[in-house]
Structures are given as structure tokens and as C-alpha cells.
A and B are shown apart, each in its own frame.
Chain A
């Protein structure tokens, strides 16, 4: 009986989870197919049925009732995946404590931001919406599909792995140490914050399990003669930290310097944590062999450097060095501007170090998919994978190429020729049209986008 109830409960949960997502079917014909994992197919066709790729090849039969897109002379590539984005957050940093594992970007999604549309127009179909880098252990991330126009819940990439943001170096030491006079003020402190919280989490788990066990015994003993346990409250923060230790959550760690990258690998080895990604990692190239040995991933900027001290001794050849040393690397944006042309950011790995074009494209498709635990579903043109693709009018690594259409789950979300200019969803009834005023000349940057909201706060 109990099992039946459980099954029913599961069914209910399942039906809530698999909310009605709009999926489409489309047949794209005669294009140059960049499959990513299986080379390039000339004059190729892609068939997407109900959101899933069901056919790839040449001279496929045109199925009845499916919309046909003639893409001769065009390139078809899987949708770009950005492993580091704050594209449409409500807020990015819960910056008031060095550890905030309990917060989640799942509860900080703004589905109405026009930035989403602008990213799709650059051929991006999925992003990793991340917490900022103010905290040593920040909030959990949420992988999104950029289905522009749906609810926040429907934007979620169902079945993506859970993720969490860590951050080392200048940002957490500046916010908490320099800003509030609490640990960590140094990279020494950063390490100890991580270790002590993992230890506390393990202790909590032991206490909580002991309590639950005693409670069971106590409540089973109807006479109530035994002494009941002192309740140990469920602790959201420690639960998440334990999930990290248990391998249920992938760590994406904002880091720059080589020494701090090594530090985290030592700590993670001590706690048995695997499958993590170093984000930004401007000095990862200096310890590429160690990263490769630990099976860790990297996700880097194509060329950002020198805007702050911990990226001063870095190089635009970072991605190439990592790639050549066998590290699975992705190129990310961390920027609502760069995300508009990640294809071009990937192309820079060819300029800086002559990475092959094929590998350059992997860095914005299958590699970030691996880092987010969605590589079985997206990141390449393969039968059975999701119909998340973009049609380009030229080779995606050329600066002259433009995205013409972007599909997610086989449904078209961007069309260069038919979309109107104003694609806002949420319009403020209090908005004004003419009263704009600003000027820019030299902009530069002082910070990664990870921290923009913290600085706004500080400046208030």
C-alpha cells in the first residue's frame, strides 16, 4: 500500500516537473552541417521532430507535414552554450556572507529580460545562469534554455546537473575581508572557509542522522519511556554542502591564479570531490598538466586580462595551452555583450595559438555541455539530441557571418528577417521614451560581470 502511495506521489511530482514545453518540428535542408562530434557534412539535412533530432545526413526524405527550411549555402551548428552567464538574473550576489550555498539562481531568474533575445540572436540556446563571485561558496546555478517568452520555470533546462558557484581570490577577500573585516581577507582564509564549512556540514549530517534515528526509535516506542532526542533542525546550507561532497552538485569555481587553482584541487581531493570546472581561470595555463591530471575542466575568457591585478599575468593563449594539454575547456562570456558573439570569441583561440577550428567550435558547444552535465542532450548535432540549433549565413567563425534563425527544441525563437525590432516582453507602463541621456567614450572595465551588483550596492 505504501509503495502504491509512493508511486502515486512520484507520478504527481513527475507531472509537475515535465510541464508543457512547446516543442517543434522542422526540416532543414542542404546546409553545411557542423556536427561538432562527427565532422562536417556538406549539403546535409537535419530533421527535428517534436524537439528532438531524428535525422542527420544527406538527401533525407522530406517528411510530410514538417516545415522545410531551405538552407543551401548556409551553415547549421548546434546552439551555442555559455557556461558562465548572469544574463537574466534578478540579483546575482547574495554578498552578505562568505558562504551562501543555500541560495539558488533558480529563484533569481528573470524570464522577461530582452538580453535573452539578444543572446539567442547570437546563436546561443543554453546558458549557465550563475551566482556571482562575492562569496567563497556562492549560490547554486541554474542551467537555462533560452526559450524567450516562457515562464521562469519553463526556462529551466530539465535534467541538467545541479551546479554551484565557488569563488577564490580577490573578489571574496575584497568583499568580506576588506569590506566587512571578517574572514577571508587572504587566500589562506579562502581555503580555511571551504574546509571548515565542509567539516561543519559533515558534522551536521552525523548529528542530524543520529537525531532522526533516535526519533524513529523514540516514536516507535509507544510507551514513551525513552528520552526523546533534542531535535537537530534541517539545515539548508549544510545539506547543499553535503550534496557537493556526495557528487550530486557540480562545482564551478571562479578562480584566476595558478596557486589558488592548485589549492582547490588539493581541498577537493581531500573531500573526494570530482567533476568540477574552473571559471575564468586566467592562469590555468600555468598549471594545465595538474588540471588535466585531476580531470578538472576550465571555462575561460577568450582575451580578457589586466583589468584587475589577478589577471595581469595572463595571456589570450590560455585556451590553446589548456586545449593542447588535454584539458576540456570552454569559452564563456560572463557578459551580456560577449554572449552576442561567442562564435567570434571562440575564433580568437585560432588567432591566439592556432587552435584548430574544430576544437574552437567545441569550446562553445560540446565542451560547455560536458561542464554542465548536459552533453548527452545538447552540444552537437546527433540523433536523439535536442533540436537546439542555429542557422548561420556563413562559417560561424567568420566575423562576417550572422545568425539567421535559432531553434530551441525544434521551435524557432529567432528569425533575423521576420522578427520586429522591439522584442521586449515586459514593458513598464511607467517607462518613458525620449528622456535618455548618457555619454561614453573610454569605457574599459574594472571587474567581471560577476560582481557588478555588489559594486552597485557599495556605491549606494
Chain B
């Protein structure tokens, strides 16, 4: 009985793929595509009922309600009752850098060293990681993939999730320099322990400042030399300092991983110092941001935060992690939601869903995984909303994408309608009715 029932279901699945999904079983669909009758959540320009989106190759050609320009060339996706959203972007992951966390030889996100500004996540990004298809079919189309460890871990990359080489998938190879804020960690109770911790902290900050001073000097020297090399001896190239030229100019964001109240305040103080004012600083983690939201807002520092972790202090209210993004947002901080995940980046919508449910509201939470991160990382001309001329990164959902009960039905990345399969779906299809035979 059971196996028969599933044969029917499988047959239906097959029929489905032969008709609607005929062109995406193996290869993506690409070219002129029109999605019609959908509820379109543009993010930047409101919601359009019974809307139309026309794609032409990589770009969005049109967003609106006018169906008159859909010629025969267009492949039409009928999406009545469905919802279209810009592809989601996760602002903090190690996707593609780590295949199996517990198997050290597959972990490429943590280089040895304390000042690794020249390390590029882009280099270690494995475009064939099994986790990538698993992620993108959930509607997460872009990730910041970041290195870890040391004081300065290296440079995070902004990647899209369709392609066969890091080169074709990189939106920004040097999307942000990752700095792990030197936390004042008291090794015990009492004033003396705290004093020692503060001493260690000051030492680290001194090194950090020196490192940045060197970089500023190098940048100035190289700029002068590059502007006019005549009569000048070519300066020796320093890989590490070379990698920081855009950082000190404020072109590459400095992503500061900082979490606790006191550390956040210290980081703000440091960021506000005149030497550092030219830096483009972004906070990541920021679990205790709600305690000092006003100060963060005043400093104008955007925050990358998640929601699915346990309350930090034993006396924190149970909902603090869920409410943190909304408290920050309401104080005026630009907030992007991230997962901090490796293989389960697909849970980004649920992280955002908790933010939405606990004070942020769905509309703002959608922004926190689309236009906000695009703005924070300086790519809002390309990503983050459904607007004409932007890259065609979007997905079609059966309902609110934050709801686990909704299905993500189609995903487009830079115009490619990607196959909706992954190891997870393939194993499902193989094993749902394992012992069935061909009819």
C-alpha cells in the first residue's frame, strides 16, 4: 500500500519536472524570463499585487504590473498566489571555506597567525561545496564568507551561490577585513584580575594601532609613488600592508566581531578616535548590542546580528536574543541578519523570522537580509531589491519565506533559474521509496 502511494507521488514529481521545471532538471534556465501574477516584494519600492517581473539575462528588465511587453521570446512562470522576494543575503558565514567542521583537513577558514590581513576567503572558497546547493535552494543567494581566528583573520568575500569558480561567483573579493575585538576577559573575580585583563587589552590595542599606522604610512607612500614614480626608488612591496590599502582608505569595511557590552563600548570608543574615523566600521555578533543600542546608533555603526542563540547572561530575559535586532533597529542602527553558520546557512530566513516576530516586523526583517546588507557592503546598486537594472537575484515562495511551512519554489541568481536540487533533495528522491522498481 505504502509503496504504491509513493509511486504516485514520485510520478507526480516527475510529471512536474517535465512540465513546469522541464528546463531546470540539470541545467539552469537563462535568458528572457517573465514571472507573472505574483505578489512582488520589491523591498525598496513597496509590494506589487499581480505583478510582473521580466528578466533579460543577468538583469531585471522590468518590475511592475504591465504585461504588454512580454513577447513570445519570454519563458513565462505563472506565479499567481506566489510571492517574489529579492534573494536573501547572509552577512556572516564560512560557507564554502569549511566542508566538514570536525575534519580538520576540510577546514580552510582559520589560518595560523595573528595579523592575517592578506588572507583571502575568496581563495579558499570551494564553489563545489555540497553545502552551496543546499543553501541556495532556500532562497539564500548571497553570503559573506569570512575567515576566523587571530586578531585579524583576513578578508571576507561576498559571493553569490551560482557558478563553478570563485571568480564567477565573487561580487566582492575583499568585502571586509575581519577583526576579532580584543575582549576584556577577566580570568577570575576581583579588582586585580580585572586590572590584568585591562592591561592585556591595552597591549593588544597598542599593537592594533601600530599595525594600522604602518598600513596608513604604506598607503600614503605607495600612493605618492604610484602618482609619480619619477626620481623615486620603488618601495619594497609588503603583502600584508598592501592588503590593507583599501581598508585604511575606508573602501573595504572593517568587520569587528564584538559581542559583550563592555567590549562594544570599547570598540565604539576606538572607532571614534580621530585616527580611525576614516575607517568603514561594521560590527558583527553584537549579542549585547541591545544594552548599548543608543551608543551604537550615535556612532553610526551598522551591525550584523543573529537571533538563534541562548541568552548571554544567566539573568537575561529569555527573548533577548530574538529582540536584539529590533532594539538596535529602533535605536537607529542599520541591521543585517546573519546566521554565523557553515552548513546550515539555509536557516537565515528563520533567524530573520525570529527578529520579525520579536519587534522588528516582517518588512524590516526582510530588509535586514536584502537591502540592508547590500548597503552595508556597498553593493546596493546591484543587489538587495527588485528594481529595474539590478541583478536578477530573486526567489519565488509559496508564502511568507520566514515561515518554515512555506516552500521556496524557484530561485534565480544573476538571472540563472537554478535547479532546485541538492544532495538533500537527491537523497530524498532516492530513498523515499527505496525499494521501488521501474514500472
Interface residues of A in 408-453 (CB under 8 A from B): 421-424, 430, 432, 434-447
In the complex, are the beta carbons of B130 and A306 less than 8 A apart?
A: yes
Considering the chains assembled together, what is the distance between the CA atoms of A306 and B146 in angstroms?
18
How distant is B271 from chain A, measured CB to nearest CB, in Å? 15
Given A438-B259, A441-B148, A441-B285, A351-B407 contact (CB < 8 Å): yes
Which residues of chain A (295-329) have a CB below 8 Å from chain B?
Answer: 303-309, 312-317, 320-321, 324-326
* Shortest Cβ distance from residue A55 to the other chain B in the assembled complex, whole angstroms: 31
* Residues in chain B near residue A313, CB distance under 8 A: 423, 427
B164 interface residue per 8 A CB criterion: no
* Contact B343 A305, beta carbon cutoff 8 Å: yes
Interface string of B404-435 (1 = CB under 8 A from A): 11110000000000000001110110011011
Q: Which of A90-98, A382-390, A398-406 touches B?
A: A398-406
By beta carbon, the residue of chain A nearest B260 is A436
A357 at the interface (CB under 8 A from B): yes
Question: 8 Å CB contacts to A: which residues of B29-48?
Answer: none
Chain B nearest Cβ from A204, distance in angstroms: 37
Q: Does B158 sit within 8 A of A, measured CB to CB?
A: no
Within 8 A of A (CB), among B346-389: 346-347, 350, 353-354, 356-357
Interface band, chain B: 35 or more
Known: A320-B428, A344-B350, A399-B350. A440 touches B259 (CB 8 A): yes
Q: Which residues of B contact A439 (CB under 8 A)?
A: 180-181, 183, 257-260, 263, 285
A36 on the B face (CB < 8 A): no
A344 touches B434 (CB 8 A): no
CB distance from B182 to the nearest CB of A (A): 9
Say yes or no: is B155 at the interface (Cβ < 8 Å to chain A).
no
Please report the C-alpha to C-alpha distance between residue A434 and residue B94 in the assembled complex, in whole angstroms. Answer: 31
Bound-state CA distance A416–B213 (Å) is 51
What separation, in Å, do the CA atoms of A400 and B266 have in the docked complex?
35
A348 within 8 A of B: yes
* Residue on A nearest B358 in the bound complex, by CB: A402
| Cβ 8 A contact of B261, one of A118, A307, A351, A436 | A436
Q: Looking at the complex, which one of A312, A317, A397, A401 makes contact with B425 (CB distance below 8 Å)?
A: A317
With A321-B432, A441-B285 given, is the CB distance from A304 to B405 under 8 Å?
A: no
Checking A285, A325, A340, A434 against B262 with a beta-carbon cut-off of 8 angstroms, the contacting residue is: A434
Report yes or no: B102 in contact with A308, Cβ–Cβ below 8 A.
yes
When distances are taken between beta carbons in the complex, the residues of chain A under 8 Å from B231 are: none
Please tell me which one of the listed residues A114, A398, A444 contacts residue B98 in the complex, with CB atoms under 8 A apart. A444
Which one of B14-22, B184-192, B292-300 contacts A? B184-192
* A118-B310 contact, Cβ under 8 Å, with A321-B432, A432-B189: yes
Contact partners of A434 in chain B: CB under 8 A: 261-262
Q: Return B352 CB to nearest CB of chain A, in Å.
A: 9
The answer, among A117, A432, A440, for a CB contact under 8 Å with B257, is: A440
**In the bound complex, do residue A445 and residue B101 qualify as a contact, i.e. CB atoms below 8 Å apart?**
yes
CA of A121 to CA of B342, assembled, Å = 28
Q: Which residues of B contact A324 (CB under 8 A)?
A: 2, 6, 432
**Cβ of B344 and Cβ of A399 under 8 Å apart?**
no
Chain A nearest CB from B428 CB (Å) reads: 4
* Distance of A441 Cα from B2 Cα, bound (Å): 46
Q: Contact check, B405 vs A351: say whether CB atoms are below 8 A apart.
A: yes
| Distance of A391 from chain B, by nearest CB (Å) | 16
Cβ-defined contact, A118 with B178, below 8 A: no
**Least Cβ distance of A177 to chain B in Å?**
16
The reply on B324 being an interface residue by CB < 8 A is: no
Task: With CB as the reference atom, state the residue of chain A lying closest to B6.
Answer: A324
The answer to whether A446 touches B357, judged by C-beta atoms less than 8 angstroms apart, is: no
Given the known interface contacts A309-B100, A432-B189, A445-B101, the answer about A315 and B428 at a Cβ–Cβ threshold of 8 Å is yes
Flag whether A101 is at the interface (Cβ < 8 A): no
Check if B284 sits within 8 Å of A441, measured CB to CB.
Answer: yes
CA A327 to CA B434, docked complex, whole Å: 14
Which one of B194, B312, B423, B434 lies within 8 Å of A289 (CB-CB)?
A: B434
How close is B99's CB to chain A, nearest CB, in angstroms? 7
- Contacts A308-B103, A317-B425, A442-B148 known; A398 to B403 CB distance under 8 Å? yes
Residues of B within 8 A of A436 (CB): 260-262, 288, 312-313
CA distance A124 to B45 in the complex (A): 41
Q: Given contacts A286-B434, A353-B428, A399-B402, are A435 and B357 in contact (CB under 8 A)?
A: no
Given known contacts A285-B427, A303-B346, A321-B428, is B405 in contact with A347 (CB within 8 Å)? yes
**Residues in B whose Cβ lies below 8 Å from that of A443:** 309, 340-341
Given contacts A303-B347, A443-B340, A443-B341, contact A286 B431 (CB under 8 A): yes
A437 near B428 (CB under 8 angstroms)? Answer: no
Q: Is the CB of B434 within 8 A of A400?
A: no
* Chain A contacts for B194, CB-based, 8 A: 435
Q: In this assembly, does B205 line the interface, its C-beta being within 8 Å of a C-beta of chain A? A: no
Known: A315-B428, A317-B425, A436-B312. A446 touches B353 (CB 8 A): no
Q: Which of B92, B93, B431, B435 has the largest count of A CB atoms less than 10 A from its CB?
A: B431
- Contacts A336-B310, A438-B185 known; 6 new A-B pairs at CB < 8 A: A286-B434, A305-B424, A306-B131, A313-B423, A399-B357, A441-B178
Which residues of B approach A to under 8 Å, CB–CB?
2, 6, 92-94, 98-103, 109, 130-131, 146, 148, 178, 180-181, 183-186, 189, 194, 197, 255, 257-263, 284-285, 287-288, 308-318, 340-344, 346-347, 350, 353-354, 356-357, 402-407, 423-425, 427-428, 431-432, 434-435
Q: Please, could you name 16 A-B residue pairs with CB atoms under 8 Å apart, sorted by A?
A: A304-B344, A306-B131, A307-B102, A307-B343, A309-B100, A313-B423, A325-B2, A347-B403, A347-B404, A398-B403, A399-B403, A400-B356, A436-B262, A437-B263, A440-B257, A442-B109
